Structure 1
Amino acid sequence: MRTGEPLPPVEDVLAALATGLWRWDNRAGLVTFDVEAARLIGLPSPDGKPVTLSESGARARFHPVDWNEIDGIVRLALAEGTLAEARLRVMDERGRVLRTVRSRSQPVVHGDSPDLYELIGTLQEVTEPSPDAASRTPVTGDWRRSREAFLLDAGRALAEAGSTQEVLRVAAGLSMPGFSPEGLAVFGVAGDRLTVIGHHGHKAGSEGPFTDMDLATDYPAAEVCRSGRAVYLSSPDEYQGRYPAAWPLAARFNRQSWAFLPLIVAGRTIGAWMAGFAYPVSFTPDERSVLTTVARMLAQALSRAGVAESERELTDGLQKSMLPTLGPEIPGMALAARYVPTGGGLQVGGDWYDMIPLPNGHIALVIGDVQGHDVRAAGLMGQLRIALRAYASEGHRPDAVLSRASRFLHGIGAPVHDDGLADPRFATCLYVEADPATGFLEMARAGHPDPAIRMADGTVLMRPTAGGLPLGIDPDADYPTTRLVLEPGETLLLCTDGLIETGGHDLDTGWARVRTTLESAAAEKLEELADALVQAVHGPSSHHTTGPLADRREDDIALLLLRRTTPSAGPTTARRTAMTIAQAEPERIAAARQQLRELLHDWSDEDQVDSAVLLISEMVTNVLVHTDGDALMVAEVTRGTEGGPRRMRVEVADASDNLPHKRRPGELASSGRGLVLMELLAQRWGVDPQGEGKSIWFELYEPSAAPVAGDGAVSRETAPPGP
């Protein structure tokens, strides 16, 4: 062709190059081939006109593996704004490969749906690729299968990463099929600046020039973040030609190829991912497809990790601001506390504890649990804690503090959800006012688990206390008080139900686990005892546990330990318990029996324990039946002097001056056996008049020795028939 002559028709040029044109409209489901393209797929046109096939008809002309690749290649081209390129094997009617053709086409999306597109491009016969090159193309099934396995493993690993550092560590360990980058870097966008989030395969400090870069900089990662499209650089010459200003920064890493891909989440570019290769990479459609898929998964993983880290940072701050400190040391007493949040993301929930100095010099210990483990539970917990501190600081007694707190929580009201249903919440609470000088405790309970006491010798007693409804249910609810004395060396445990019922335990088995821990753990240091209680449920923890350990929690745990450290004036008292049985609460007789059994858990003679339990039932029942007042039970176990036998002494006092009289009940009588049983079962017993009322008592000794009656006591053998 001479200079100045008109160019030949395009069709003639394409025919001379053995290149055909095709058009695939997936809306209509039709594929049209021109004469040359029809010849290449084995359908020569006798009349020289284009050939139109249905999608199924066109699919039958190509290898099924290659045809299935087309949709992914088209989506990749649409995402990158590039041409869709593919190698396709043409098959004959017998399933034999006629030839291999290369397709290059421009995808055009119709409407807003990426599933409706049209391809217009070329078909050109190519020679079969070498085995090495074939390993990187969709023509071979081995590469395709290894790629799918790699993407599955990478997706699983990135989905399990819980922090940005874990995501970067997973990305650095990815071994891509057929090609693996030598260096990786993840860039983030902060306002109009480009920052380095993390990198791998580079020396420490080498990221310096890239850590704070203007997005307008002529740097590949900056362009990717601006445009949202990938940049592939197959050689140093291409890098230097496209980005001459940034090339000196990249040249010192001695890379041969680079891929910069956008990290896109919900249509927003949050950063860029750079993969640098130590050898030339042509970035075939298959390689770009793998890199694009990894970048998509990496963006999702980084987004999840960022949200989780922000939540952790927020909740850690919320936790620190809402959880109290135990304040200064209390003379004569020691305190320890633990709070372990549940899993589910929010690291602060509805459980709380508090220590409040009171105007009268006493201290108040509060522990509670707001229903739920969500943000609302945490918010209500904060409000309720502030209200309780305010009421306590005004000097109200425990029952009045809980009554006011219940009215406060009920008055907050329940929010109404979109479905029109209200979400009322209640809270359990245990409030204890303690006098450090005397060890006197006065407590009120609102639907909360009872406290427990670890005595000086390690014996653990659950202390049943009078209680009322949980806070917030009834604004007019009453909360009776229970009084007891914490003896020197004894430790009071207050806890939420998470310590008891976690791990498949119910209330009974959970308390058994707590009791075993309290009895077996070394208790010289209160902090070690608190750690032992938490470890018995979940393993090692810190004062406020977060992270993977916290993610395994079933329920929040809050606990308080209060120990009276004042030395005792009477070292012979090994253990002691006391409780009041009111006229209106005869069911507490069962609790009194249980208290006595727990006090005598290591008594060597089971018959004596059964006798003591029977006698306490008779004594308390007599008070409730024959008087108008309450019964006060006091039981203690003391060690005799110079290694003598232990003594059990049980006393029941009441406010009536009427002394008991011995009677002779008949065989069918339902009463009158109290003093008869006392004579038969007790080794020593007696009745002591007091200023107001009286007390009746009995003593039993372990079988190693027998006591001698004296000191004004009335022994069983010499007990008179009267009072």
Structure 2
Amino acid sequence: MRTGEPLPTVDDVLAAVATGLWHWDTASGLVTADAEAARLLGCPAEPSTFTEAQVRARIHPVDWNEVAGIVQLAAAEGTIAEARIRIVDEQGHVLRTVRSRSKPTVDREHRTYDAIGTLQEVAEPVPGTPAGRSAVRGDWRRSREAFLLDAGRALAEARSTQEVLRVAAGLSMPGFSPDGLAVFAVVGDHLTIIGHHGQHLTDEAPFYNMPLDTDYPAVDVVRTGRAVYLSSPEEYSSRYPLTWPLAKPFGRHSWAFLPLTAGGRTKGAWLAAFTYPVAFTPDERSVLTTVARMLAQALSRAEAAESARELTDGLQRSMLPRLGPAVPGMTMAARYVPTGGGLQVGGDWYDLIPLPGPVSRTRPAGGRYALVIGDVQGHDVTAAGLMGQLRIALRAYAAEGHRPDAVLTRTSRFLHGITAGHEPRFATCLYVAAEPESGALEVARAGHPNPAIRMPDGTVLERPTAGGLPLGIDPDADYPTTRFVLEPGETLMICTDGLIETGGHDLESGWKRIRTILEQHDGDLETLADALVQGVHGPSSYHMPGPLADRREDDIAVLLMCRTAQNAVDGAPARRCRARRTALNVAQAEPQRVAEARQLLRALLHDWTSADQVDSAVLLISETVTNVLLHTDTDALLLAEISGAPGRRRLRVEVTDSGDALPHRRRPGELASSGRGLLVIERLADAWGVDPRGEGKCVWFELHERERLHERN
């Protein structure tokens, strides 16, 4: 140009640099383009007006969505929108790549915007040339998309606030990675840092608990919901002079503060700080904004999950079973293993309840206790809720001083009442009233597995007890009680069916597995409790609630109680029980319990050397107990005891009743159906007799253990 000549017009300049002008009005949905812009869009080179649909058809689908997001972001922030756009033909083939730069303005009332900008063709490197290979390696779009995919996946997998913050600290953005990160959260009327990376903990101290009227970029972001970009220290110091002295010692040159918005609320701010100057181009702002949105969503999910977890943990801590106070003369151990999953408490429970009782010199107040174990149907939240209610109700009934049968009857009526009109649920339960001083136990059972007794020598007996229907089925159900004595050194085990049946077992095979563990164990109760659970599931975190290594098939609860061999009463040690003994009461109305007596005696004689003698003993039990039920109107009390050293032991069985008539030997004919009982006893027993007992009598017999060699001879 010569001096003094007029400047070229804008149209001349745009024509010289092959740049087109366009105007996009979202209110009308029209795009106006000059001739050059129309040519770049793949249309005839003449000024034209297009609909959004026509322009969209000329732009690559991925780029159209990107342009829309960049323009909206620039309109919200009041900045320039810049993007690279691929222009395609009717078949979708890329014709050229253009650069778009525009300045959008927002009509907040109508929620529309105008964008006026330019289009200019971008020369792409030729594939195969050094420039082309460099372009492939540094392709900004591909790098950014890969980064956002990785970041989104990592943030989506984070399950806690700390995990989200760790992921945010490890983000490596394409081409401009920050070396200082901080996450601010609104707490009440203050803004505080909840996580940071790239600074020492003490460095951030001035930025903790900042009031929301502080002159600080992150506070501005929270108040306005708009990002703040500071490209240089001069810009920072001029816009925020009060807090610049606090930020200056960090030695950064550029800062980006972005809102963390989730659910329409700005809950905090994210700071990305750089030690080198960053211009914050539209591409860079787009990446930062996308990361901030993903970070906000991840923090919101983590916050919701942590709140739910905290609530669940609190409920679990209040609902988990516990043993409570120590019981004099007894040692106890218990384990609880939930099924797993999200809720770490299920329908199983156990409890130890101090019982009221009369006070005397030998029995202080609170000298009796109730051991309770139960299982509510199901493994869901409803089962856990019902379990909590049942525990409270049962403790209340027990504290009133009711007998075991009355406690279960009232609890059954309570469960039936609270589930009436809803999904019916039932619960099994075993209630044991124990007197530690004497070892006397009174058991009531509601559809629950029988207790087991482990004797000092390792003999294990499944202790048959009378029972009734599960709780909640019949509000008027009866629960008969069973009384027996826990001898010094013996251990009582009560458990839910999860311990027995887990692993594909039924009650029979599962009981054999548990019995083997009990017989082989030789340690304290805590070790035995561990062995029982490990024998079912292997090692796991069953001491405290929390995530389990494997998902359980059913809840497990197990409670062990051992009567100490030295039980001090008035300073005198209790006698040691060296004999192996058991007792069983067979009522007139329960003739089926004769089979339980046979089973109990076989378990007591599990290591007897002579199988023939075991069969004889079982037959003699049937004869003596059945005689009581047939010839008297009273119940039969069976007491079986084994004493002596192995190989020379003696079995003594006593069957006592309160009838007055003494048995006598008879001579039955060939066709007689009875009268042979005493003849059988006389033939099979090594010794026998009938002893009057004041009220009633006792029929007893003895068998002396024989060596297997003698048996074969």
In the alignment, is the contact (CA less than 8 A) between 2:330 and 2:564 conserved in 1?
A: yes
C-alpha distance in 1, partners of 2:590/2:508?
22
Which of 248, 252, 255 matches 1:251?
248
Q: TM-score, normalised by structure 2?
A: 0.82
1:291-320, Cα deviation, whole Å (9 max, x unpaired): 444433433333333334334444444444
Counterpart residue number, 1:715: none
Counterpart residue number, 1:479: 479
Matched, 1:401 2:397: no
Counterpart residue number, 1:624: 629
In the alignment, is the contact (CA less than 8 A) between 1:136 and 1:178 conserved in 2?
A: no
Counterpart residue number, 2:464: 464
1:305-344, Cα deviation, whole Å (9 max, x unpaired): 3334334444444444455764543332223334444544
Alpha carbons of structure 1 residues 553 and 228: separation in structure 2 relative to 1, 3 Å: farther
Which of 655, 678, 703 matches 2:706?
703
Alpha carbons of structure 1 residues 97 and 301: separation in structure 2 relative to 1, 3 Å: closer
Q: Give the aligned residue type for 1:630.
A: D
Matched, 1:87 2:92: no
In the alignment, is the contact (CA less than 8 A) between 1:333 and 1:566 conserved in 2?
A: no
Matched, 1:559 2:558: yes
Counterpart residue number, 1:609: 614
Which of 559, 581, 587 matches 1:582?
587
Alpha carbons of structure 1 residues 398 and 104: separation in structure 2 relative to 1, 3 Å: same
Counterpart residue number, 1:210: 207
Alpha carbons of structure 1 residues 84 and 651: separation in structure 2 relative to 1, 3 Å: farther
In the alignment, is the contact (CA less than 8 A) between 1:367 and 1:429 conserved in 2?
A: yes
Give the secondary-structure state (helix, strand or coil) at the position aligned to 1:270. strand
Deviation at 1:482, TM superposition (A): 0.9
Q: Which segment is superposed worse, 288-297 or 453-462?
A: 288-297
Counterpart residue number, 1:717: none
Give the secondary-structure state (helix, strand or coil) at the position aligned to 2:625. helix
1:220-270, Cα deviation, whole Å (9 max, x unpaired): 222222233333444444434443333333332333443333333322222
Deviation at 1:398, TM superposition (A): 1.2
Matched, 1:592 2:597: yes
In the alignment, is the contact (CA less than 8 A) between 1:391 and 1:401 conserved in 2?
A: yes
Q: Give the aligned residue type for 1:362.
A: R
C-alpha distance in 2, partners of 1:76/1:613?
90
Deviation at 1:193, TM superposition (A): 0.6
Q: Give the aligned residue type for 2:167.
A: V
1:391-413, Cα deviation, whole Å (9 max, x unpaired): 32332211122222233333445
Deviation at 1:440, TM superposition (A): 0.4
Q: Which segment is superposed worse, 570-579 or 263-272?
A: 570-579
C-alpha distance in 1, partners of 2:595/2:23?
90
In the alignment, is the contact (CA less than 8 A) between 1:63 and 1:91 conserved in 2?
A: yes
Give the secondary-structure state (helix, strand or coil) at the position aligned to 2:203. coil
C-alpha distance in 2, partners of 1:119/1:665?
118
In the alignment, is the contact (CA less than 8 A) between 2:82 and 2:283 conserved in 1?
A: no
RMSD in angstroms over aligned alpha carbons? 4.3
1:488-539, Cα deviation, whole Å (9 max, x unpaired): 0111123334434445544344434433333334433x33333433444455
In the alignment, is the contact (CA less than 8 A) between 2:144 and 2:287 conserved in 1?
A: no
Matched, 1:167 2:173: no
Matched, 1:365 2:336: no
Alpha carbons of structure 1 residues 54 and 265: separation in structure 2 relative to 1, 3 Å: closer
Alpha carbons of structure 1 residues 57 and 37: separation in structure 2 relative to 1, 3 Å: closer
Q: Give the aligned residue type for 1:384.
A: L
Give the secondary-structure state (helix, strand or coil) at the position aligned to 2:302. helix
Matched, 1:429 2:429: yes
Give the secondary-structure state (helix, strand or coil) at the position aligned to 1:467. coil
Counterpart residue number, 1:455: 455
Quote the sequence identity (%). Answer: 70
Alpha carbons of structure 1 residues 80 and 624: separation in structure 2 relative to 1, 3 Å: farther
Alpha carbons of structure 1 residues 705 and 555: separation in structure 2 relative to 1, 3 Å: closer
Give the secondary-structure state (helix, strand or coil) at the position aligned to 1:170. helix
In the alignment, is the contact (CA less than 8 A) between 1:352 and 1:368 conserved in 2?
A: yes
Counterpart residue number, 2:118: 122
Alpha carbons of structure 1 residues 94 and 197: separation in structure 2 relative to 1, 3 Å: closer
Deviation at 1:644, TM superposition (A): 5.5
C-alpha distance in 2, partners of 1:284/1:666?
115
Alpha carbons of structure 1 residues 595 and 104: separation in structure 2 relative to 1, 3 Å: farther
Deviation at 1:443, TM superposition (A): 1.5
Gaps of 5+ in 2: 126-130, 358-366, 567-572
C-alpha distance in 1, partners of 2:512/2:107?
69
Which of 175, 178, 182 matches 2:179?
182
1:126-183, Cα deviation, whole Å (9 max, x unpaired): 45587778766555x4x2563365145414532xx2x322332333334445554333
Q: Which segment is superposed worse, 463-472 or 507-516?
A: 507-516
In the alignment, is the contact (CA less than 8 A) between 1:341 and 1:545 conserved in 2?
A: no
Give the secondary-structure state (helix, strand or coil) at the position aligned to 1:207. helix
Deviation at 1:548, TM superposition (A): 1.8
Matched, 1:645 2:639: no
Deviation at 1:365, TM superposition (A): 2.1
In the alignment, is the contact (CA less than 8 A) between 1:157 and 1:170 conserved in 2?
A: no
C-alpha distance in 2, partners of 1:250/1:468?
75
Counterpart residue number, 1:43: 43
Deviation at 1:565, TM superposition (A): 1.0
Counterpart residue number, 2:659: 656
Aligned positions of 1:280-319 closer than 5 A: 280-319=277-316
Deviation at 1:345, TM superposition (A): 4.0
In the alignment, is the contact (CA less than 8 A) between 1:35 and 1:51 conserved in 2?
A: no
Alpha carbons of structure 1 residues 170 and 687: separation in structure 2 relative to 1, 3 Å: farther
Deviation at 1:487, TM superposition (A): 0.5
Q: Which segment is superposed worse, 627-636 or 174-183?
A: 174-183
In the alignment, is the contact (CA less than 8 A) between 1:458 and 1:519 conserved in 2?
A: yes
Alpha carbons of structure 1 residues 264 and 81: separation in structure 2 relative to 1, 3 Å: farther
Counterpart residue number, 1:52: 50
Counterpart residue number, 2:352: 355
Counterpart residue number, 1:199: 196
In the alignment, is the contact (CA less than 8 A) between 1:107 and 1:117 conserved in 2?
A: yes
C-alpha distance in 1, partners of 2:171/2:454?
55
In the alignment, is the contact (CA less than 8 A) between 1:315 and 1:348 conserved in 2?
A: no
In the alignment, is the contact (CA less than 8 A) between 2:455 and 2:489 conserved in 1?
A: yes
Deviation at 1:485, TM superposition (A): 0.4
C-alpha distance in 2, partners of 1:550/1:255?
46
In the alignment, is the contact (CA less than 8 A) between 2:502 and 2:553 conserved in 1?
A: yes
Counterpart residue number, 2:569: none
Alpha carbons of structure 1 residues 62 and 404: separation in structure 2 relative to 1, 3 Å: closer
In the alignment, is the contact (CA less than 8 A) between 1:398 and 1:433 conserved in 2?
A: yes
Deviation at 1:106, TM superposition (A): 6.6
Deviation at 1:628, TM superposition (A): 3.0
Q: Which segment is superposed worse, 505-514 or 25-34?
A: 25-34
Q: Which segment is superposed worse, 592-601 or 477-486?
A: 592-601
In the alignment, is the contact (CA less than 8 A) between 1:444 and 1:481 conserved in 2?
A: yes
Deviation at 1:598, TM superposition (A): 2.7
Which of 318, 331, 352 matches 1:334?
331
Alpha carbons of structure 1 residues 96 and 353: separation in structure 2 relative to 1, 3 Å: closer
Alpha carbons of structure 1 residues 258 and 675: separation in structure 2 relative to 1, 3 Å: farther
Give the secondary-structure state (helix, strand or coil) at the position aligned to 2:562. strand
In the alignment, is the contact (CA less than 8 A) between 1:589 and 1:620 conserved in 2?
A: yes
Q: How many residues align?
A: 687
Counterpart residue number, 1:275: 272
C-alpha distance in 2, partners of 1:279/1:155?
27
